[in-house]
């Protein structure tokens, strides 16, 4: 629960600091985030399949590869670059929780 609230705080901070830029580029960023996430799922599943793992293991590896440390990415981008650089990680934080949950079920 602590990690979820911390992730939420990071996303809120990044989005509030960059809301004008998000309004301008949000749809493009969302498309890139979905593409990146989907490629991670497909790559994880494909490599696991090439290794002849069973379905449950392929699914687990796919989810693990597709869901990355977006909270860390947002924090590092905001600290070392600009709040705008953290926007894709913040959007990814929300998206990968939705897509990962759907894929897991």
pLDDT tens digit string along 60-80? 999 888 887 777 777 788 788
Which tens digits make up the pLDDT trace of 21-72?
777 777 888 888 889 889 999 999 999 999 999 999 999 999 888 887 777 7
pLDDT at 2: 58
| Per-chain mean pLDDT for the chain | 81
Helices and strands in the chain: count of H runs, count of E runs: 5, 0
User: What is the distance between the alpha carbons of residues 91 and 89, in angstroms, rounded to a whole number?
Assistant: 5
Tell me if 83 sits within 8 A of 18, measured CB to CB. Answer: yes
pLDDT at 67: 81
91 Cα distance to chain centroid: 7
């Amino acid at each position: 629960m602590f990690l979820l609230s911390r992730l939420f705080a990071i996303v809120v901070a990044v989005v509030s600091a960059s809301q004008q830029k998000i309004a301008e580029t949000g749809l493009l960023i969302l498309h890139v985030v979905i593409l990146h996430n989907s490629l991670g799922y497909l790559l994880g599943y494909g490599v696991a399949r090439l290794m002849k793992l069973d379905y449950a293991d392929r699914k687990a590896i796919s989810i693990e590869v597709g869901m990355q440390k977006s909270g860390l990415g947002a924090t590092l981008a905001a600290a070392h670059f600009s709040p705008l650089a953290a926007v894709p990680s913040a959007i990814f934080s929300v998206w990968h929780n939705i897509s990962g949950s759907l894929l897991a079920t």
